[in-house]
Chains A and B, each alone.
Chain A
Amino acid sequence: MKPFSVCLAALALSASAIAADDAVLLRNADVYPVTAAEMKNASILIRDGKIAEIGEKIVVSKGMKTVDLKGVRVYPGMIDSGTNLGLTEIGSERVTNDTGEIGEFMPQLKALIAVNPDSATFGVTRVNGITSAMTYPGGGRGGGGGGRGGAAPQFIAGQAAMIHLSGWTWEEMEMVRGAAMQLSFPAIAGRGGRGGGGEEPEGGRGPAPFTEAKRNYDQQIQKINDFFDAARQYQKERTSNAPGFTKDLKMEAMIPVLEQKEPVAIFASQERSIRDAISFVDRQHVKAVIIEPRDLSKVAAELKAHNIPVILGRTEALSQDEDDPYDKEMTLPAEAYKAGVKFAFGTFSNEWSRNLPFNAARAVTFGLPYEEALKAVTINAAEIWGAASMTGSIEKGKWADLIVTDGDPLEVTTQIKAVYIKGKEVPLTNHQIDLYRRYMTRP
């Protein structure tokens, strides 16, 4: 057995050396590159996992594997900009969750190294045409914490990674190791429920709720600034190799952030938090992406002025405020677009990651131009997370992250016919499909 596999490896090596053998040609498809106009009857040559060529006339060399895609479409694989894929298996079972480490500032933590490549969710998500995702170290969504319930608030959860949704190991899945530093921006606790029956909160004569909450909020922001200031001081000492300088893993992890190589993914939902987050970004001179800005419409102009992109959550959502229009969350992407704010979509839930395209479609239903919705799940995400040279469109030199469909990839009834990740066709199966096949045969 052993000599055989060695032999195979040797063969593969020599094959790639003389080109050709691992190359695949997808022929006669309608190609939607996203960054360029649609091409009818075009072919895509995949070599070494990358898009080697796109065109109507690509010469088929001898022995080259070809796939005829007449009558179907090829799109770039989609990107979910908000998940905990690989880190969380079953939401309610703590032992299967690796998000939300203990500690207020934990920039040294890396989501990537905890990604379980065999998580059942990868297969479920892939077959719907999602080929990459941002996976975050924290499960939190804003609110001065994001740590586990009852634990002390967490501000920096660690580094989110951009990954491919297929690979034998997390190293193979890695696209951008430190794609963003996850920061939960403080918030003043919002009202719960839907406006209720007008009940007054009990204990109206008690301690001042807002004054207290505001003080706490300001202190938390100060704490974050202090941490960034300390990191900058560390950076200075490190550069000048100051006497007595010792390496600090937390601070080391902050260097790419301070050098604007790694954006801060700031979870800020409410208007006040978003505004203060923008001030924070200004003050700290960092690159930032605002995550799930539910109050976006009130601060869109400022976001645009500061050139801060945002990740919008699911449009399959409702406002908590009973007075808001029923379609408020669904029109948010259209508003971001009109204001000129750059955005991508995140589902912020592993289970709903597979519904990413439907959330994008829903934005179109409520006013977003279709092309913008498609960009928001492909090229925009790649650009925001520093992966535009790798994925997000069908362009020469990028990874061949492709999906083959029988129609509009955002539409619920469209079938995904094939999925390519890094040029490899991913089998269209998963735990759910296995069960389907098995139980259809139960007598």
Chain B
Amino acid sequence: MKKILLLAFVALAVRAEVTVIRNATIMTEGAKGTVKGSILVRDGKIAEVGENVLVPEGATVIDANGQWVIPGIIDCHTHIAVDGNVNEGSVSVSSMVNIKDVINPEDIAIYRALAGGVTVGNVLHGSANAIGGQTIVIKMRWGKDADGLIFEGAKPGLKFALGENPKRSGSPQPGSNAPLRYPATRMGVEDTIREAFNEAVAYKAEWDKYAAAVSAGQHPVPPRKDLKLEALKEVLEGKRYVHAHCYRADEILMLIRIADDYGFKIRTFQHVMEGYKVAKEIAAHGAGASTFSDWFGFKMEVFDATAYNAAIMASKGVLVSVNSDSENGELMGRLNTEAAKAIKYGGMSRENALALVTLNPAKQLGVDDRVGSIEVGKDADLVIYDKDPLSEYAKAQKVLIDGHKYFDRDEDISGRAGREAEKQKLLEMEKQDQAQRRRGPQ
């Protein structure tokens, strides 16, 4: 009985986890637009947003007077938190590999992205292959283990890549006598993807036949489970999103036609620097576009890149996001001002610009029921800025995920001396240890 009471008490204590952020300018990115007021967080979810929110007893109160709150930033294309190479680049179709297997929760890039207000990231395989590896969406729950980072319920994806990167291994590299890998042209990239889906369709038929036989009461030997084709089968069945790295208009169109032929959808075109040229076709297919704010000039296929890409595509009805493609979290740490560039280049409204890194990527990743805007019932993934978040002068002060504080600039700063002291202590210990060893065993 005592034990039960105690349990009940603990449950109550857990349930009573309530936080209120007060006196803030809140860019909700939801129906309420931008409001001055408070956000009530209960059990990790947003319980109330508005001018007059009563502070429940025992609630943790964050006074954000003069500060701004936006939904946690979502990066639709990142390569952080990955152990080992982000590319299984040895083969043209590497759909058998899975980023989920190599998530590294100790990657400092997670924390640094968090410090820039990022709460969710789509962790992608690299772009060395026409069909790349399986991808996973994470939350930046710094300090948790790998499993604790996974955004539970978010649909996994598969990386595709078109253009220069996947065909690079098809051309001789100076100083290397490695055998050439097909394909070496955009034609070959198309063929590689078609061949793979041709195989996947047959594979799916084999399994469907097997399933039918089993349900008919027979006991056939199951077909061989092939991890490479399994991922493609999931794409055909709509269980896995396709995130396709691409630059040029021709290859974007090409992939749309493959998808049409095989009856699957491209969820997002990534980078998609010439997306503005085929915005109509992208919108008609129903794909999203996740682009760079202002990258250009680094390779031939971005020669026609324009900083107005996001604005043009959005004006033509494409669901657009802006991503970082970051490996170390640098660009992730300032996606708020990357979004603001859409105001400069193309005159997007403030709310639409911020949506490029919040609500839109949430929709692209199919998690907009959970994150992407500050609305009742959604996860309390929130960023508090000292100034207008669409300004270069704004710094993230606090970042909450599921209502828990994962970043606090003040705590970060006050903790620095302690970490440095700890390091010096270990260095000193090591120095003494080495000196002792040099003197020989006692």
Q: Which residues of A contact B (CB under 8 A)?
A: 89-93, 120-121, 124, 150, 194-195, 197, 316-318, 322-323, 325-327, 350-351, 354-355, 358, 361-362, 364-366, 410-415, 431-433, 435-436, 439-440, 442
A415 touches B344 (CB 8 A): yes
Asked if B304 and A435 make an inter-chain contact with CB atoms under 8 angstroms apart, the answer reads yes
B237 is an interface residue with CB less than 8 A from chain A: no
Known A-B contacts A323-B419, A350-B297, A435-B306; the reply to A365 vs B390 at CB < 8 A is: no
Complex-state Cα separation, A325 to B420, whole angstroms: 10
Q: How far is it, in angstroms, between the C-alpha of A202 and the C-alpha of B46 when the chains are bound?
A: 51
Asked whether, in the complex, the Cβ of A89 is within 8 Å of the Cβ of B297, the reply is: yes
Give chain B residues whose Cβ lies under 8 Å from the Cβ of A410: 392
A323 near B423: Cβ-Cβ < 8 Å: yes
Residue B333 CB within 8 A of the other chain: yes
Query: In the complex the two chains form, is B300's CB within 8 Å of A322's CB?
Result: no
Tell me how far the C-beta of B181 lies from the nearest C-beta in chain A, rounded to whole angstroms: 19
Chain B contacts to A: CB under 8 angstroms:
83, 106-109, 111-112, 115, 175, 276-277, 279-280, 294-300, 303-308, 311-312, 315, 328-331, 333-334, 337, 340-341, 343-344, 346, 390-395, 412-413, 416, 419-420, 423
Closest chain-B Cβ to A127's Cβ sits at a distance in Å of: 10
| Given A318-B329, A361-B392, 11 additional A-B pairs, CB 8 A | A90-B303, A92-B298, A194-B108, A326-B115, A354-B294, A355-B294, A361-B393, A365-B393, A412-B390, A413-B344, A435-B308
Interface centre among A121, A410, A432, A439 (most CB of B within 10 A): A439
- Given A433-B308, A435-B304, does the pair A326, B328 have CB atoms closer than 8 Å? no
Contacts A194-B328, A326-B333 hold; do A432 and B344 have CB atoms under 8 A apart? Answer: no
CA A334 to CA B303, docked complex, whole Å? 36
Contact, CB under 8 Å: A316 / B297: no
Give the residue name and chain of the A residue nearest to B423 (CB): A323
Q: A432-B306, A439-B312 are in contact. Are A414 and B344 (CB under 8 A)?
A: yes
The verdict on A150 contacting B175 (CB below 8 Å), with A355-B294, A358-B337, A433-B308 known, is yes
A93, B300: Cβ atoms closer than 8 Å: yes
Residue of B nearest to A432 (CB): B306
A90 touches B299 (CB 8 A): yes
Q: Output the least CB separation between A309 and chain B (Å).
A: 24
Contacting residues, chain B, for A431 (C-beta < 8 A): 304, 306
Given contacts A150-B175, A326-B333, contact A90 B300 (CB under 8 A): yes
Q: How far is B277's CA from A431's CA once the two chains are assembled, in angstroms?
A: 14
| B171 CB → nearest A CB, Å | 13
Are B391 and A351 interface neighbours, CB within 8 A?
no
- Counting from the closest, the 8 A-B pairs by CB-CB distance are A361-B392, A436-B308, A432-B306, A322-B108, A92-B299, A318-B330, A326-B112, A326-B115
Contact partners of A195 in chain B: CB under 8 A = 108
Known A365-B393, A435-B276, A439-B277; contact A91-B341, beta-carbon cutoff 8 A: no
How many A-B contacts at CB < 8 Å in the complex?
A: 116
Are B108 and A411 in contact, with the CB atoms below 8 A? no
Distance, CA A121 to CA B416, complexed state (A): 41
B394 surroundings in chain A (CB, below 8 A): 365
B334 touches A316 (CB 8 A): yes
Cβ of B148 to closest chain A Cβ, rounded Å: 19
Of the residues B295, B303, B330, B340, contact of A412 by C-beta under 8 Å: B340
Known A365-B392, A439-B277: A412·B299 in contact at CB below 8 Å: no
28 contacts between A and B (CB under 8 A): A93-B300, A120-B297, A121-B297, A124-B296, A124-B297, A194-B109, A197-B106, A316-B330, A318-B328, A318-B329, A322-B108, A323-B419, A323-B420, A323-B423, A325-B413, A326-B111, A327-B115, A350-B297, A365-B394, A366-B395, A411-B391, A412-B390, A412-B391, A413-B391, A435-B276, A436-B308, A439-B276, A442-B279
User: Do B295 and A351 touch (CB < 8 A)?
Assistant: yes
Chain B positions within 8 Å of A318 at CB level: 112, 328-330, 333
A404 to B296, CA, bound (A): 25
Bound CA span A326–B112, Å: 6
Residues of chain B within 8 A (CB-CB) of A322 are 108
**Nearest CB in chain B: distance from A443 CB, A:** 8
* Highest count of chain B CB atoms <10 Å: which of A93, A195, A325: A325
CA distance A432 to B311 in the complex (A): 12
Whole-angstrom distance between the alpha carbons of A326 and B409 in the complex? 10
Give min CB distance, B97 to chain A, whole Å.
20
CA distance A414 to B345 in the complex (A): 10
B390 neighbours in A (Cβ, 8 Å): 412-413
Complex: chain A residue closest to B415, CB-CB: A325
A90 CA / B295 CA spacing, docked (Å): 12
Q: Assess the B392–A326 pair: CB atoms within 8 A.
A: no
Q: Bound state CA distance, A406 and B299, in angstroms?
A: 33
Contacts of B297 in A (CB 8 A): 89-91, 120-121, 124, 350-351
Inter-chain CA distance A410–B392, complex, in Å, is 8
Please measure, in the bound complex, the distance between the C-alpha atom of A412 and the C-alpha atom of B413, giving whole angstroms: 27
